[in-house]
Amino acid sequence: MNPGIKHVSILVPIGDCSMANIEGTHQILLRVNDHLAVAGLPPLFRVQLVGLRSETSIRNGLFSVRPDGLIEDILHTDLIIIPAVNGDMNKVIVDNKGGSGVVPYLPLPELKQGTPVRPGAPVADATARGGRP
C-alpha cells in the first residue's frame, strides 16, 4: 500500500441512518482516486465501510449494507466518518454500543492519538464527545 494513502472508515451504524451519506461519501472519495489515476498519480484514500455487524438493515429493511469489515477488526484508520442517523436517538445510541462499545463511537486506539472523527449529524457529534452538546 502507498505510504501516503489515508485510510478512511465510514461507519455503518445499526438502525436507521442516511444511506445517501454512506454511499455519497464512499463515491466521492473513490472518485478522487479515479481522477488521480487518470493523472498518473497514486490513490489518496483507502475507503472502507465498517460496522458492528456483517450486514445492517436500513430504512426498515428497504436497504441492506454489507460493510467491508467489522469495527473490531480495524487496527488503524486516519479518518472516521459517521453518517447522519434517524429516529429515536436513545435507541440508536443503545443499539450501537455493541460488544465493542462503539458509543461514544469507536474505541480505536487512534482516537486517543487524535484521529479526526467527522460526524454526519449533530447527535453523532454529541455522541462522539461522550454525550456533551
List, as one string, the DSSP characters of 14-64.
SSSB-HHHHHHHHHHHHHHHHHHHHTT---SEEEEEEESSSSEEETTTTEE
Q: Quick one: what percent of the chain has pLDDT higher than 90?
A: 30
The answer to the question of residue 29 being in a domain is yes
Instruction: Kindly state whether residue 35 falls inside one of the protein's structural domains.
Output: yes
pLDDT of residue 127: 39
Q: Looking at the domain assignment, is residue 64 inside a domain? A: yes
Taking the CA atoms of 132, 113, 31 and 19 in sequence, report the sign of the dihedral they define.
negative
Would 124 be classed as within a structural domain?
yes
Give the span between the Cα atoms of 40 and 6, in whole angstroms: 18
Overall domain count for the chain = 1
Asked if the structure places residue 20 within a domain, the reply is yes
Per the domain annotation, does 1 fall within a domain?
Answer: no
Q: Which structural domain, as residue segments, surrounds residue 28?
A: 6-128
Contact 127/97 with Cβ under 8 angstroms? no
Return d(Cα 52, Cα 96) in angstroms, integer: 8
Residue 105 included in any domain: yes
| 15 located within any domain | yes
Q: pLDDT tens digits for 53-101? A: 899 888 777 888 999 999 888 888 888 888 888 777 777 777 777 545 5
